[in-house]
Structure 1
């Protein structure tokens, strides 16, 4: 049976905008027609490519990774929205209201009008493009040695996708622009574990067309290339965070490191699932990095690790406001700032402008200083909406897939046991469904459960232990 969830109802429920006001479209069209500002570094000779999902047009980043003596050199060109969006204008007000692009299976609700996000400001491989160019030098171990950021004109030589690049790597070839990406990517992944970065790597569900006019849910598999590419983005965000802290002004993406109590509780949960780990951040990071992806106890332990990553937010400082006492991001293991996706996320434009000013030794412009304190609340609300929309689309598709199967029994992996106060949580592998479950089932086992509820209108799904 084909699942036909109502994504239009999700858009209405969350008040997502339908199109842009005429004055915003007019301002975006004028901005799209302007040539790049003078005084930019001509970096059109740098070998750069974009790596994104197939069909993407909102290309935020173009990357080049090469050997540099015993070390490496990364060139990371980012779409320059700061040169496009006029502070206080109609476009600025609209993107402040939206916060970020919200993705639904049947189409996105973009942060910027497509004339910018999918054309003039996107780093498409069709000619010179204005960009903010990060140049990062690294040593043989993959550690940062130098950082430079400035406005430039760049030229992407190819629009690549993850599967294609992975196939090239597996075949022993790789585009010359990213010749050193596999080596540096692996080094940076190892350094992340050494920093104590806590990466959950839970199954990532996505809603896709089923080929029969409806929708289905699948687990999104990440290729190594996608992980390596993500490491370049994280590398740049960490360089930005360090620059902001040194300069005394900025906007960090923060997540408190887990405290001793949370680490101790996790170690006890791990022991109950058959794993031994010391209650330290570095030990937990190493354990999670080595777990299998689909094993039942491992999945339950990854789910338990979500309790270690609570309290994510944005922290602005400067103009007399001191940096936070703990400026780090527990999931990354270092201070970090969003600067690499300005087409899709509002805060990146402001973070980039801070870094450009600090790198040039200039004072932050008045409008930028005024905006920084307002962004944490705005982005927190936007992140919550985007996450809720994504969850609603997945939940309603799951429920639509299962709606005709009430009363059937399924084998599931128990991720979290039920308590007196809350139902447990189980994971059905095929189709990949995450749902609540009532009844006494221990975590980390495969159990038989009965489907008792599947409501496509709300996305609510409930299983019950088969024997209860």
Structure 2
């Protein structure tokens, strides 16, 4: 999970654009796709491998940001006769377009993941596939991996199936529109059930000790002559939608473990020191966290619309460090099989347009259901995927972290010398004159350096002493 989500509304000013361009160069981010990759993409876009099973009669819908066109997932939700629910979840079938060992495949292994910058993205696959031929756009017949997961009346999974199928989404929905329809009671039942199933799955998550962080999204909002940095709190519909993806990732991991071969997304439990640090941040931000209350319960009590809660949710992502991918073969479950935040075995299998590993996980789940050996190309490359994903994820994290710093510096560059209200949310133990402050307006988290020890947890008037988008550095001092 990223430290902070970031989105730009409107055109950014020149220093911001220049700094982001320099970041792309420093990280070796490609500007486009090689000619042979584009040629292959254009060729296969019109001639994918077509599955025999026709599921176009299922009235699927997608839920994504309004401007998104790389649509990995589409769903249909229904009640089952006799009680419980059925989830149909279609995942874009990238393998129907990508020839193993071809130019497209090789380029995907080089890129590993889509990179998201505030002013645009660098896609994993050419957009002729990721935003057109392979995307689950409404009204288009597409090859997909179609999951069918049955749930009981409490939302627990009772049966799982996945197969290749032709599907056709009926509607492209966005989170705000979904929330309005559900809240107003105007949503058709397949959509209205998103709240019912999502809430049940949240309760299942609580029971097993899992936690989902509703981290607010930072937005740069353009005005007539300046930009503001604000937070967008996620809607309940964001969380319900995420629960469908989590459900599928858990179901996929269970299939792999029973099959004896797979690739899991794993996360170790946070070390005591990290939890202690987070408790300090909670005190700093005025978050009530009694010692007898578990971390998960505290997080669920937070309202991301409250500035101090939003800041603490961002600090909570520090407990998610150390995630990786674990391959296992030969029938023996791996020693590390659980994702600590999910509190269950889990795999990434729902975003193949944007993440390389999901294509491999999907194939392994298909093989598990069919009781067959995985495709030769999967078996040949599987052991290398964790290292490739580690490399790609590290670069994606650098993009996210540096982009936030660049944006903050660009938006504050003309305000050096100004004084702001802030809260000291962290102080270095070995260097108490250095720490981190959180500003509510604008929504900035940045470094502070002082001549004296910083007062952890206290409100403080701070002066902006440096804001340079070229070096991505923002620095405050006590005022």
**TM-score with structure 2 length normalisation?**
0.89
2:358 is the alignment partner of 1:338: no
Q: Secondary structure at the match of 2:288?
A: coil
Aligned position for 1:428: 439
The 2-side partners of 1:232 and 1:397 are apart by: 32
SS at match of 1:311: coil
Is residue 145 from structure 1 mapped to residue 158 from structure 2 by the alignment? Answer: yes
TM-score (norm. length: structure 1):
0.91
1:378–1:216 Cα change, 3 Å: farther
Partner of 1:205: 218
Count of aligned pairs = 461
Task: Report if aligned partners of 2:281, 2:315 keep a CA contact under 8 Å in 1.
Answer: yes
- Say which is worse superposed, 305-314 or 387-396, in terms of deviation: 305-314
CA contact (8 A) 2:48 2:96 kept: no
Closer, same or farther: CA 449–51 of 1 in aligned 2, 3 Å: same
2:396 aligned with 1:370: no
Q: Which moved more, 1:246-255 or 1:408-417?
A: 408-417
Residue 77 (structure 1) aligned with residue 87 (structure 2): no
Residues 160 and 268 (structure 1), Cα distance of their counterparts in 2 relative to 1, 3 Å cut: closer
Following TM superposition, by how much is the alpha carbon of 1:264 offset from its aligned partner in structure 2, in angstroms?
6.3
User: After superposition, where does 1:268-307 map in structure 2 within 5 Å?
Assistant: 275-278=288-291, 283-293=294-304, 298=309, 302=313, 305-307=316-318
Distance in 2 separating the partners of 1:301 and 1:391: 17
Displacement after TM superposition at 1:202 (Å): 4.0
Deviation at 1:243, TM superposition (A): 1.1
Alpha-carbon distance in 1 for matches of 2:29, 2:281: 40
5+ residue gaps, structure 2: 1-11
Pairwise CA RMSD = 2.5
Q: Is the deviation greater in 288-297 or in 309-318? A: 288-297
Q: Is the 8 A contact 2:51 2:165 kept in 1?
A: no
Contact 1:263–1:279 (CA under 8 A) maintained in structure 2: no
Match of 1:126 among 107, 117, 139: 139
Q: Does 1:312 align with 2:323?
A: yes
Contact 2:266 2:324 in 1 (8 A): yes
Q: CA separation of 1:195/1:73 partners in 2, compared to 1, >3 Å: closer, same or farther?
A: same
Q: 1:296, 1:446 within 8 Å by CA — same for their partners in 2? A: no
1:319: Cα distance to partner?
4.4
**Hey, what's the Cα distance between the residues in 2 that align with 1:357 and 1:235?**
19
Q: Give CA-to-partner distance per residue, 1:69-115, whole Å, 9 cap, x none.
A: 42111000000011211110011000100011112232211111111
Match of 2:235 among 214, 223, 229: 223
2:472 — aligned with what? 459
1:302-350 C-alpha deviation (Å, 9 max, x unpaired):
4554443331111111147x43323111121111101101011111111
| SS of corresponding position for 1:18 | coil
Task: Determine whether 1:241 maps to 2:292.
Answer: no
Question: Secondary structure in 1 aligned to 2:88?
Answer: strand
Partner of 1:155: 168
Asked if the contact 2:92–2:143 (Cα under 8 Å) also holds between the matched residues in 1, the reply is yes
